[in-house]
Structure 1
C-alpha cells in the first residue's frame, strides 16, 4: 500500500482541531486533541511544543484574520480604529479562546510583527516611547472585552417587573439594536479622544521643556 498523499497529522490540522475543542469546551489538552484526531498523544508532540505550542498556533490562526494594513490608512487615529475593529472581529469568531490567549505570553513571530507595526504607527504619530505599550494594551482591553460581549445574548437584562426598575426598563426599551456594536464604537471613540489629548499634552510639555532649556553659548 502506498503512502497517503497527505500526512495524517500536521500543524494545520492540529490548530483547526484545537480551535474546535476550545470553541466547544473553553479549554484544551493535548490528549483531547489527539483523541479528536484519532492519533496517539505522543504523535501530537512530534509536531508541536506541547499545550503552549498549540496555544501559539491558535493565536497565529486567529490573528491572521486581523487587517494590520488598516494601521497605515489615514491618520493614526483612523489607523488604530480600523485595526481595533478588525482585531475585534477576528477574536469575536472564537470568544472562548480569548482567556487562553490572553493569559499566555505572545511568542508567535507573525503576531509579534503585528505589534511591531502598531508600535511604529504610534511612534510616527509622535507618542513618547513609554506611552506606546499602555496605549496598545488599553486598546486591546477594550477590543477583547467587546469581542466577548459579541458572544453574549442581545438581551442581557431581563426585567420581570417594570415597576421595580422603571428607569432601567425605559432605558432598555429606548436602546437601539446591536447594543454590542454601539457600545464598542462609543468606547472606542472615547478612548481615542483621551489618547489624542494625552498626545497633545505630551507634545506641549516637550515643547515647553525645549523652550525653557538654556541655549548653549557660542565660544
Structure 2
C-alpha cells in the first residue's frame, strides 16, 4: 500500500485535537490526544516538545485569531482598545483555555512578538518602561475576566422570590441581554481613563 496523502500526525492536528479537548473539559493529556487521533502516545511526542510544547501550540492557535493590526492604530489608547477587543473575542471563543494558558509561562515566539508590539506602543506613547507591564497586565485582567464572563450563563443570579431582593431583580431586568458587553465597555473605558491620567502624571514627573 502507498503512503497516505495526508500525514496521520502533525503539529496542526495535535493542536486541533488538544483544543477540542480543552473546549470540552478544560484540560487535555497527551494520552487523550493520542487516543482521539488513533496513534500511540509516543508518536505524539515525536512532533511536540512534551505537554508544555502543546500548551504553547494552543496559545499560538488562540492568539492567531487576534488582529494585531489594531496595534498600528493611533492614538495609543485607540490602538490599545482595539487590541483589547480583538484579544477578548479570541479568548471568548475558547474560555476553558484561559486558566490553562494563564498559568503557564508564555514562550511561543509569535505571541511574544505580539507583546513586543504592545510594549513598543506604550513606550512610544511616553509610558516609562517600569509602567508598561503593569498597564498590560491590568488590561489582560479586564480582557480575560470579560472573556470568562461571556461564557457564563446569561442568568448568573437565580431569583426564586423577587420580593426578597426587589432591587436586585429590578437591576437585572434593566441590564438586559447584553450585560457582559456593557460591563466590558465600562471596565475598558475605566482602565483607559486611568491609563491616560497615569501617562499625564508620568510626563509631569
Say whether the fold is shared (TM-score over 0.5).
yes
Root-mean-square deviation (Å): 0.7
User: 1:32 matched to which residue of 2?
Assistant: 32
Larger radius of gyration: 1
Counting only pairs closer than 5 Å after superposition, residues 113-192 of structure 1 correspond to structure 2 as 113-192=113-192
Tell me which moved more, 155-164 or 53-62: 155-164
Alpha-carbon shift at residue 173 of structure 1 (Å): 1.5
Report Cα offsets for 1:5-33 as digits up to 9, x if no partner.
Answer: 12110000000000000101111110000
User: 1:136-156 CA distances to partner (integer Å, 9 max, x unpaired)?
Assistant: 000001100100010011121
Q: How far, CA to CA, are the matches of 2:57 and 2:18 in structure 1?
A: 9
State the alpha-carbon separation in 2 of the partners of residues 128 and 70 from structure 1.
22
Post-superposition shift, 1:202? 0.8
* 1:201 aligned residue: 201
- SS of the residue 2:177 aligns to: coil
1:94 paired residue number? 94
- Equivalent in the alignment of 2:62: 62
1:72 aligns with 2:72: yes
For 1:55, what is the secondary structure of its paired residue?
helix
Any runs of at least 4 consecutive aligned residues in structure 1 with deviations exceeding 3 A, and if so which? Answer: none
User: Cα distance, 1:170 vs. partner?
Assistant: 1.1
Q: Aligned with 1:163: secondary structure?
A: coil
Q: What is the distance in 1 between the residues matched to 2:191 and 2:78? A: 13
CA distance in 1, matches of 2:19, 2:150: 18
Instruction: Single out whichever of 92-101 and 175-184 deviates more from structure 2.
Output: 175-184
Residue 32 of structure 2 aligns to a residue whose secondary structure is helix
1: CA distance between counterparts of 2:14 and 2:164? 52
CA distance in 1, matches of 2:58, 2:89: 15
* 2:4 paired with 1:4: yes
Structure 2 residue runs of 5 or longer lacking an equivalent are none
Structure 1, gaps ≥5 residues long: 206-219
Q: TM-score, normalised by structure 1?
A: 0.92
